[in-house]
Amino acid sequence: MDMAGVGPLSGRRSVLPKVLGDRGKDCIRELFALTWFSRVWVLQEVGLATTATAFWGDSNIDFGQIAIFVYNVFTNEELKFFLGPELSATLLGSPLYALWNVWSTYEKKDSWMQRTPTLRRFAEGIISGCDVDFTLVLEAAKHFNATNSLDYVYAFLGHPKAKKPGTDTTWLQADYSLTLQDQHRILASSLAEDSLNFLVHLQQTEETLEVSEHPSWVPQWGEKHPVHAEAFWEAWDASLRKKERRQYPAQPRGAKLSISGLIIDIVDQSTPTMKPDDFEPIDWAGARLIEDCWKLATQNSYAYTREKVIEAFASTLICDHRQPGHSAVELFAGFCMHADIKFFKNMETKGGLWSLKIVLEGSETFGTHFKWYGTNRRFFTTKNKGLWGLGPAAMQKGDVCVVLFGADVPFILRPTRIKGEYKVVGECYMYDLMYGDAMSAWREGKYSYAKEDIVLV
């Protein structure tokens, strides 16, 4: 089903009722309600298969067709609207994470994925645009079910990315005598040998940061909290780890992890947490959220020149990663023109949109990306440098923004009463820091960044 370019903002009449029929939604709901789609152990058996056929009663279908439908739900706003929020959320849960994080990353040349052009291009796009590692594969864990909680990790050890780079040794050996807490700590300590990207899997709340039996730097793989936000790290290189092919020393000592990093600034003001319902409908409610973020941003924007203000703002809202095609600013202008003409006219004069190319076709993707990255996060500003960012829901005033050596995105840390010790609040996006800008500036002595020894507790 090729529905590219058809969305709520396009003004076209939907053909989906005719294509899917009177019972289309009911059949889709029944199919994806099957427990098969949420079992963690099915991922490996399908991912490693050369051919895959789905049987349901007396009927069967090439499994690739089911995967293509999941892909279309993810990429097409009209299909999401037709299916409704509840059914769309089901398809964008375990089915999408199975396709994106697991099946697309096996890189098995003769698999059913590679023989389906749409899925092959999807997989090639992920591999070419992202740093595919075990962190990416493990991200799927919290969307599935397992009888034994240890299997949220062990079920993925058959994936090629479960091996340490250049070896046949997995990051962790299956051992069912371990407690869940020990398994998580051992895996986190092992992954820290290569990078700190596993920290993006943390799902902190105000409660877990205040009282928790787990170290703040050890993810609880398999657990999904109501404040879950979609993790991001694959396309960036904040500490220049990937560009320079470096491994930074991280020293786990029991419940503590010793690392290094650059303290960028202190969190000052932030918007309320943007909840999932706050984005519905995206072309109206999303525009209201953008206005709220803009009001906060313009209270403190001295870090950006007039030429960079809109680019920094638009890029922050959608965690832009400089992908080819229309720029974040062009899509932002098109979205605002459609969704909120009054705000657009204000931005046109005060923000400088009048001088920019306005892209209408495809501009609905700005709203889609804003919802994807903004859900359960806050837009924030920093105290001393006037920077902007998109940070975790549990963030509060006084937390610090840090580029950790060995992490591909910046993080928000919370100082403890012991100097040099911090708790990890979560990852963040900060314009001009995502591609090693702070690291380069520090090395060249351009800014007052200083390398600091940091202990995560």
Say if residue 1's pLDDT is above 70: no
Q: Quickly tell me which residue has 């396009």 as its tokens.
A: 10
Residue written as token pair 């250049």: 166
Which pLDDT belongs to residue 8? 45
Give the range among 160-169, 238-247, 351-360, 431-440 with minimum mean pLDDT: 351-360
How does residue 348 score in pLDDT terms, banded at 50, 70 and 90?
A: low
CA distance 237 to 29: 39
Instruction: Work out the number of other CB atoms within 10 angstroms of the CB of residue 400.
Output: 20
List CB contacts of 107: < 8 A, sequence separation 6 or more: 123, 127, 160
CA distance 249 to 64: 42
pLDDT of 7 > 60? The answer is no
Q: Which two tokens stand for residue 445?
A: 């002595």
- pTM score, two decimals? 0.87
Residue 294 reports pLDDT greater than 70: yes
Strand pairing report for 421-427 and 451-456 = parallel
Average pLDDT for 282-304:
85
Mean pLDDT (whole number) for 176-191: 97
DSSP string, 174-193: --TTS-HHHHHHHHHHHHTT
Measured CA angle at 100 (ends 98, 103), to 5 deg: 60
Q: What is the pLDDT of residues 101-141, one digit of tens each?
A: 999 998 888 899 998 899 999 999 888 877 789 999 999 99
Q: Answer yes or no: is pLDDT of 203 > 50.
A: yes
The pLDDT score that the predictor gives to residue 44 is 87
Distances (CA, A) of 100 to 74, 81, 396: 10, 21, 32
User: How much of the chain, in percent, has pLDDT values that exceed 70?
Assistant: 90
Q: Residue 377 above 70 pLDDT?
A: yes
Closest by CA position to 1, among listed 72, 82, 86, 102: 72
Comparing 18-22, 298-302, 347-351, 392-396, the range with the smallest average pLDDT is 347-351
pLDDT tens-place string over residues 208-266:
999 878 899 999 998 878 778 999 999 899 999 999 999 898 999 999 999 999 999 99
As to burial, measured by CB atoms within 10 angstroms (0-12 exposed, 13-18 middle, 19+ buried), residue 415 is middle
CB atoms within 10 A of CB 292: 14
Distance CA 157, CA 188 (A): 15
Q: What was the pLDDT predicted at 10?
A: 43
Q: Which residue has the higher pLDDT, 350 or 301?
A: 301
Half-sphere exposure of 300 (CA within 13 A, CB side): 17
Query: What integer pLDDT is reported at residue 148 of this predicted model?
Result: 96
Predicted confidence at residue 325, as pLDDT, reads 58
What separation, in Å, do the N-terminal and C-terminal C-alpha atoms of the chain show? Answer: 49
Q: What is the predicted pLDDT for the residue at 358?
A: 52
Q: What's residue 343's pLDDT?
A: 64
Q: What is residue 333's predicted lDDT score, i.e. its pLDDT?
A: 80
Residue 441's CB: how many other CB atoms inside 10 A?
A: 16
Give yes or no for a contact between 452 and 260, defined as CB atoms under 8 angstroms apart: yes
